[in-house]
Structure 1
């Protein structure tokens, strides 16, 4: 009876563990989800920045977009290296939703495009991503994931400030 009870407890413990961590790499699901979402967000930023650089006629928008492409490419590379060290396979492109938003934005021209880019990929995307990184910086279980998130927060805060300034400069 004792042996049966031990087997049941062990089985339940294993089921609980696999519910919280990926058996292949020991990553807690929330940490892996953070890394996957961060990768998609980063790819969306880079693609939108490239679009803005080619489509916008506004030098402030082009300059902001160039900075976003440079910074998010660097962060994407750092995240990819971290993921590789943890045996986590990351998405290599934006999500379907992010792609559809970029396509809709790409249909706009002139000042409408500039404002949409500043609103969507500037302010809104950075508000959402900053919250996600702050949560991981304080709550990630993996110390390397936590450190990556914490290290990235100041740059995201700066990007949010820059995007708000850009949006304010574009008027209504």
Structure 2
């Protein structure tokens, strides 16, 4: 018997929901922190881009992701967690190294590519935790961060 498209879609939604529910508050804090750190560190390389729109975007990323890091940290403390300093995951470290090695318009193109992927991941994380998170203050912070990340995603998708 062949699975129907509806059954396949339902299974995919169930898997996404199960994954979101399985993220502990500490895991959420770590993932959000890593995401923000990657955004900030990669943006620092682009603030001097010859592409003024990209340089402005990078400056906005530094400001907005510094703010979201603080929001998540404060929410974690309010939820009785002791957040650790943000750390890049292995893929983010690799992407940042590649960005550092690139120059000029090649760096700009790589930055845009990385930002599209990073913001899609960040948006998914924030939306999932805002819907399914178990720590009240972190869930509220994720909900406040969602529209900001969506705005960033919309901005980078146009570049």
Normalization by structure 2: what TM-score? 0.80
| 1:29 shift after superposition | 5.8
Give secondary structure in 1 for the equivalent of 2:88.
coil
1:44-74 alpha-carbon deviations (Å, 9 max, x no partner): 10001111114x2211110000001110001
Contact 2:34 2:88 in 1 (8 A): yes
Task: Measure how far apart 1:94 and its partner are.
Answer: 2.0
Following TM superposition, the consecutive aligned residue runs of length 4 or more in structure 1 with deviations greater than 3 angstroms are none
Q: Give the distance between the partners of 1:139 and 1:106, measured in 2 at CA.
A: 36
User: CA-to-partner distance for each residue in 1:63-93, whole Å, 9 max, x for gaps?
Assistant: 0000011100011111122223323222333
For CA contacts below 8 A with separation 6 or more, give which structure has more relative contact order.
2
Query: Is residue 38–residue 92 contact of structure 2 (8 Å, CA) maintained in 1?
Result: yes
Q: Distance in 2 between matches of 1:160 and 1:116?
A: 16
Structure 1 counterpart of 2:52: 59
1:31 and 1:135 map into 2 onto residues whose CA distance is 12
Normalised by the size of structure 1, how large is the TM-score? 0.74
Whether the 8 Å CA contact 1:133–1:150 is kept in 2: the answer is yes
Which of the numbers 76, 86, 89 marks the counterpart of 2:83?
89
What is the alpha-carbon root mean square deviation over aligned residues?
1.5
Give the whole-Å Cα distance in 1 for the aligned partners of 2:75 and 2:140.
11
State the match for 1:130 in structure 2. Answer: 123
Residues in 1 aligned to 2:86 and 2:121: alpha-carbon distance in whole angstroms:
20
1:101 aligns with 2:95: yes
Query: How far is the alpha carbon of 1:135 from its aligned partner?
Result: 0.5
Q: Secondary structure at the match of 1:98?
A: helix
Residue from 59, 70, 90 that aligns with 1:77 = 70
Preserved contact between residue 26 and residue 81 of structure 2 (Cα < 8 Å): no
- Structure 2 unmatched runs, 5+: 1-21
Structure 2 CA distance for aligned equivalents of residues 113 and 29 of structure 1: 33
